C-alpha cells in the first residue's frame, strides 16, 4: 500500500515553519549538495526512493530496499523527501533531523538517522519522543540545526516540489534510472526484488 499527499496543506505548513526559522540564528553546516547516496557512488543503476519518515509502509520497506541494494554489484540508492500532508509537522521535523545529521556528520550519519527515526517513530504522524544517537554528531547541534536551519527546510520543500513534477504523490515510490542512458522507470508502492530486477531488465531491453 502507498500513502498520497495533500500538496496545498504541506506547502502552507512549510511556509509557516520557514517563517519561524528565519527569526532564529542559522546553524553552520557543510551544505551538502546532491542526493544522499547509499551504496556504490558511481553505480550504473540508481534507485531513488521517494519517502516520508512517518509513512508506515516506508518504515517497513526502506530496510528491505537497502538490503537489496547492498546485494547488487552496480546499484545505489538515493533518498528523496516527500513528507505527506496528513502526517503533519512530525514528518517535516523528522526530514529536517535526518538532513541535519547528514550535514553535521556526513553520508553515514544521514543513513544512521534514517534508520533510527524509522526504528523509533510510531508513524502516521505520531512521531517519536526519544533522541537519536548518531556517531560523531552532537545532539544539541542536531536539534538546533533541525529547528533553525532554513536552508534545510528549503531543500526539503524543493524535493517535495520535484516529486510532484515527476508525478509522484505517494510513498513509497521508487524511480529506477540507468545512469548510462538517462532512461528511467517509476514504480509505485513497495517494489520487491523481482519487480526491481524486472524494471532494470526492461530498461536494458530498451537499449537494444
Q: What nine digits make up the cell of 84?
A: 505527506
81-127 pLDDT per residue, tens: 999 989 999 999 999 999 999 999 999 999 999 999 999 999 999 99
The whole-chain average pLDDT of the chain stands at 88
The arithmetic mean of pLDDT across residues 123-134, rounded, is 94
The residues facing 72 across adjacent strands are: none
Q: Judge whether residue 152 has pLDDT over 90.
A: yes
pLDDT band at 190 (very low <50, low <70, confident <90, very high): very high
Confidence at residue 206, expressed as pLDDT on a 0 to 100 scale:
86
189: domain range? 3-207
The reported pTM is: 0.83
Q: What nine digits make up the cell of 97?
A: 533531523
Q: What is the CATH number of the domain that holds 63?
A: 3.40.30.10
The arithmetic mean of pLDDT across residues 175-200, rounded, is 97
Helices (H), the chain: 7-22, 56-71, 88-105, 107-120, 139-148, 150-165, 193-207
Q: How does DSSP assign 7-59, residue by residue? A: HHHHHHHHHHHHHHHHTSPPPP-----S--EEE-TT-SEEEEEEE-TT-HHHH
Whole-number CA gyration radius for the chain: 17
Q: What nine digits make up the cell of 133?
A: 544517537
pLDDT band at 207 (very low <50, low <70, confident <90, very high): confident
Confidence at residue 26, expressed as pLDDT on a 0 to 100 scale:
36
Number of structural domains (the chain) is 1
Amino acid at each position: 500500500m502507498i500513502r498520497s499527499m495533500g500538496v496545498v496543506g504541506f506547502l502552507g505548513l512549510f511556509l509557516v515553519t520557514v517563517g519561524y526559522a528565519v527569526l532564529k540564528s542559522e546553524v553552520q553546516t557543510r551544505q551538502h549538495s546532491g542526493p544522499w547516496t547509499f551504496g556504490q557512488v558511481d553505480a550504473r543503476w540508481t534507485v531513488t526512493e521517494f519517502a516520508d519518515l512517518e509513512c508506515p509502509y516506508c518504515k517497513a520497506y526502506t530496510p528491505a530496499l537497502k538490503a537489496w541494494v547492498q546485494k547488487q554489484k552496480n546499484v545505489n540508492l538515493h533518498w528523496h523527501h516527500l513528507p505527506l500532508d496528513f502526517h503533519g509537522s512530525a514528518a517535516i521535523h523528522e526530514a529536517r533531523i535526518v538532513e541535519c545529521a547528514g550535514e553535521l556528520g556526513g553520508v553515514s550519519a544521514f543513513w544512521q538517522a534514517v534508520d533510527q527515526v524509522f526504528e523509533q517513530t510510531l508513524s502516521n504522524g505520531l512521531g517519536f519522543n526519544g533522541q537519536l544517537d548518531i556517531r560523531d554528531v552532537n545532539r544539541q547541534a542536531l536539534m538546533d540545526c533541525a529547528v533553525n536551519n532554513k536552508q534545510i527546510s528549503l531543500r526539503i520543500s524543493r524535493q517535495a516540489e520535484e516529486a510532484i513534477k515527476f508525478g509522484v504523490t505517494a510513498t513509497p515510490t521508487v524511480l529506477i534510472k540507468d545512469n548510462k542512458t538517462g532512461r528511467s522507470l517509476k514504480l509505485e508502492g513497495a517494489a520487491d526484488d523481482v519487480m526491481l530486477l524486472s524494471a532494470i531488465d526492461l530498461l536494458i531491453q530498451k537499449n537494444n
